[in-house]
């Protein structure tokens, strides 16, 4: 097949016009992907940012403090709800930011975030207290930038009012004192 120089007049290395066609095709693909990406970005920009559920402040002494944000604390049973976590990193540290919660359900299979079947009826002990799942990249290091944002997704097994304590740390012993590294949040979980 003879390459068309009308659309793309590229002669690459002068040895076989097929190569120029290939490059041309690649460039076209690249252009299309860029345009597609731009469209996707435009679409992303149309999407409202998830509300800020928590603001994490890391002091110059690398003490991690968490404060509730202004997000509506509403979840829907059996579904993931996405929130924003803003991080103000005045220490410039680059360790991962970890969230721990005693209300997080234990994974049936290690590391899996798959959604478990809803538990109905009376449950107690740890089952009752562990009602949610968190989707958070606990291994991703902080960038060291003064401000960055992350996404946190929360999934609820139950409906009604549910409360959770989310504790943040950026490594062993970095939790700020006086309960400042954790936030108590109560959610209204709408029935499925």
Residues that bind another protein (CB under 8 A): 51, 59-63, 68, 71-74, 90-96, 103, 122-125, 128-129, 131, 141, 144, 158, 160-165, 170-174, 176-180, 182-186, 188
Question: Is 24 or 166 the residue whose CB approaches another protein more closely?
Answer: 166
Residue 144 CB, nearest approach to another protein (Å): 6
Residue 72 CB, nearest approach to another protein (Å): 3
Question: Is 33 or 163 the residue whose CB approaches another protein more closely?
Answer: 163
Q: How many helices (H) and strands (E) does the chain have?
A: 2, 9
Question: Is 99 or 185 the residue whose CB approaches another protein more closely?
Answer: 185
Burial of 83 (0-12, 13-18, 19+ CB in 10 A): buried
CA distances from 155 to 55, 105, 135 (A): 20, 10, 8
**Count of Cβ atoms closer than 10 Å to residue 177 Cβ:** 8
Residue 120 CB, nearest approach to another protein (Å): 14
Give residue for tokens 């066609």.
21
Residue 6 CB, nearest approach to another protein (Å): 48
Question: Is 114 or 124 the residue whose CB approaches another protein more closely?
Answer: 124
3-state secondary structure of 17: helix
What the block records as the tokens of 13 is 């290395």
Whole-angstrom distance, CA of residue 180 vs CA of residue 113: 28
What the block records as the tokens of 180 is 């400042």
Could you tell me how many residues make up the chain? 192
Question: Is 73 or 133 the residue whose CB approaches another protein more closely?
Answer: 73
Residue 137 CB, nearest approach to another protein (Å): 15
């Amino acid at each position: 097949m003879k390459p068309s120089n009308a659309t793309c007049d590229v002669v690459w290395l002068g040895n076989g016009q097929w190569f120029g066609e290939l490059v041309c095709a690649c460039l076209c693909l690249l252009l299309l992907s860029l345009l597609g990406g731009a469209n996707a970005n435009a679409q992303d920009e149309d999407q409202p940012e998830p509300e800020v559920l928590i603001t994490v402040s890391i002091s110059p002494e690398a003490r991690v403090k968490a404060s509730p944000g202004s997000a509506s604390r509403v979840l829907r049973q059996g579904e993931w709800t996405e929130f924003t976590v803003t991080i103000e990193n005045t220490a410039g540290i680059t360790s991962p930011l970890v969230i721990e919660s005693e209300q997080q359900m234990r994974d049936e299979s290690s590391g899996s975030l798959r959604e478990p079947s809803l538990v109905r009826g009376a449950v107690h002990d740890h089952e009752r207290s562990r009602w949610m799942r968190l989707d958070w990249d606990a291994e991703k290091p902080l960038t060291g930038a003064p401000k960055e944002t992350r996404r946190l997704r929360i999934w609820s097994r139950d409906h009604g009012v549910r409360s959770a304590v989310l504790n943040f740390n950026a490594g062993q012993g970095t939790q700020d004192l006086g309960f400042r590294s954790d936030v108590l949040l109560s959610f209204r979980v709408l029935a499925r």
